[in-house]
Amino acid sequence: MIVYEREHDFVLTAQHEHGLVAGEMASHWKTELLTDEAHREDLIFAAKEHDRGWIELDSAPFWNDYSQIPYSFRDFPLRPRFVFYRKGIEEVREKNLYAGLLCSMMYTDLFQNNLGANANDDEDIREYLNDEREHQLRMEQQLGGGEALKLRLKHDLEIMLFCDQLSLFLCMEEPGTPAARYDFFADGLGSTFDACSRQPIQAEWLSNEKVGLSFVPFDEDFTVVMPYKSVPKASIRKFGLLQAYRRAEWKERRVLITGMS
């Protein structure tokens, strides 16, 4: 779950909904920036389904007693999370082996960067990384291996990470929030490309319904739709988080993706 707090409610976006938006972004990627256009649909499928392991977890959100907010992807306990990550990756792999490998690589890339952030988590993370890398080697072998495959995976992973980050930017904070106030993206989106000289791409709200990019890797301006729920704190106190979440109505956030200028 992706969560941020307002005065009277919490705004909750399901991870899979964010993933579907990342897939929509990948579908607009400029052809000339792809390593292999023939595999565009594999990339789109991976971007769209990369968070499907969260579907069951997010259907019944959990309350964090320590923080007094709903658990989010930032603080959800790692061991159960890894169980559902593996489940989601396997479901993707069964439908598309290349996409399953990309999803696995995306998680190992993210958690490799998390090593050392919290010493209590390092052992669990290392165990997960070792297990997933063994699975990745087997999937690479099934796909034929070779340097061309490694190069394509590297480039497609960068695209997936960019779309994931931009999609998160749309739902981690209230629309209109200056990028400087984001925990993750104050210095720009982390995934970069040769086409922009490996410089961080800046994202900024131009209005409450429009986000501009300092470098646009997409073939056109387009609008994405992100479903979410705003769950009143009063409802949580009365019914508990699960019932309050289920009682809350679905809403939609519509955002135009465009250039800065």
Burial of 64 (0-12, 13-18, 19+ CB in 10 A): middle
Give the per-residue pLDDT at 39. 87
Q: Are 89 and 104 in contact (CB under 8 A)?
A: yes
Tally of structural domains, the chain = 1
**DSSP H or E stretch at residue 38:** none
Range of the domain at 188: 2-259
Q: For position 119, what pLDDT does the model report? A: 75
pLDDT at site 117: 67
Position 193 scores a pLDDT of: 87
Torsion of CA 8, 14, 15, 18, to 10 degrees: -90
- How far is 51 from 35, CA to CA, in rounded Å? 24
Cα 3 to Cα 13: distance, rounded to the nearest angstrom: 7
H/E/C letters for each residue in 81-111? HHHHHHHHHHHHHHHCHHHHHHHHHHHHHHH
- What pLDDT does residue 120 have? 76
Regions of the chain with pLDDT less than 50: none
> pLDDT of 35-48, one tens digit each?
888 889 999 999 99
- Nearest in space to 169 (alpha carbons), one of 184, 191, 187: 184
The pLDDT value recorded for residue 51 is 96
